[in-house]
Amino acid sequence: MAEPRTSDSHDDPAAPRAIGAGEHVTVADLTPGRIIERWTDTSTSTVRVPMPCHERQVVTASRHTVNAVAVCRLCSRTYELTLEPDADGGHFAILTVAYVPHLLSRQAKR
């Protein structure tokens, strides 16, 4: 039996609600701790999850993946990814914007 999906945010009225799988995400929504739900594309062996920041970027997990860290290669935004089996045999992705940003190096100015 699937448990009803509950949010931890009910203790904290300031916490924004999760963004549903069918909802559009803007860059302003991608604040640390924000929860974003996404539909996935599940094949016989893999689960493809679109990045909330760049929808044409996907990460590919295995069907056995439960938790992972997903990083967008275009903008380096990082998400904690949880995959939940869905009733239709696919998977439902819950992405949490990571609290710890990744900082990419570049050539120092002289």
Q: Output the six-digit token pair for 48.
A: 């493809």
| Closer residue to Zn ion (CB): 52 or 61 | 52
Q: How far is the CB of 108 from Zn ion (least distance, A)?
A: 24
Q: Output the six-digit token pair for 28.
A: 């302003």
Q: Would you give the distance in Å from CA 32 to the centre of its chain?
A: 12
Helix (H, G, I), strand (E, B) or coil at 58: strand
| Closer residue to Zn ion (CB): 39 or 85 | 39
| Closer residue to Zn ion (CB): 42 or 78 | 78
Q: How far is the CB of 72 from Zn ion (least distance, A)?
A: 3
Helix (H, G, I), strand (E, B) or coil at 65: coil
> Count residues contacting Zn ion (CB under 5 A)?
6
78-85 vs 41-42, strand pairing mode? unpaired
Helix (H, G, I), strand (E, B) or coil at 48: strand
Site for Zn ion in 32-91 (CB under 5 A): 53-54, 72, 74-75, 77
**Applying CB under 5 A, which residues contact Zn ion?**
53-54, 72, 74-75, 77
